[in-house]
Amino acid sequence: MSMGIWSNAFRMPRHPDLTEQEKTFLAGVALKVRRREMGQVAALTVESTRPLHNLGSQALVFLMPMLGALFGRERAEKAVKLLENPKAMDFFLKELESVSETDDNGAKNVKKRP
């Protein structure tokens, strides 16, 4: 018996893999966050608000006219697309962790006492 139109009715959409440009963008954001020593706070925020990412991306769509004027429409649309993609958030968290282990020169981040 064929289900007809119901065969795909409850299928969850698959998220596309990240492009190299998106990976570069997220790696840059992770590096900037880490330089401000906010990596752990950012990781905690991303993990704790994971169920709200789709809602946040829809809020950005609502605010698109204002964000487009401030940051440029392409950058705002990129942010919306990345917030909706769980693979992007996983990559961002991995970048935060990898950047936290080493500094820009590849040396271990070890704070020395004065």
Blockwise average pLDDT, block size 10, the chain, 114 residues: 69 83 91 91 90 84 87 85 89 84 50 56
The residue count for the chain? 114
- Domain coordinates in residue numbering, the chain: 52-99
Token pair 């900037």 in the structure block, residue: 32
pTM higher than 0.75: no
**Cα separations in angstroms, 75 against 2, 16, 71, 86, 114:** 44, 18, 6, 18, 42
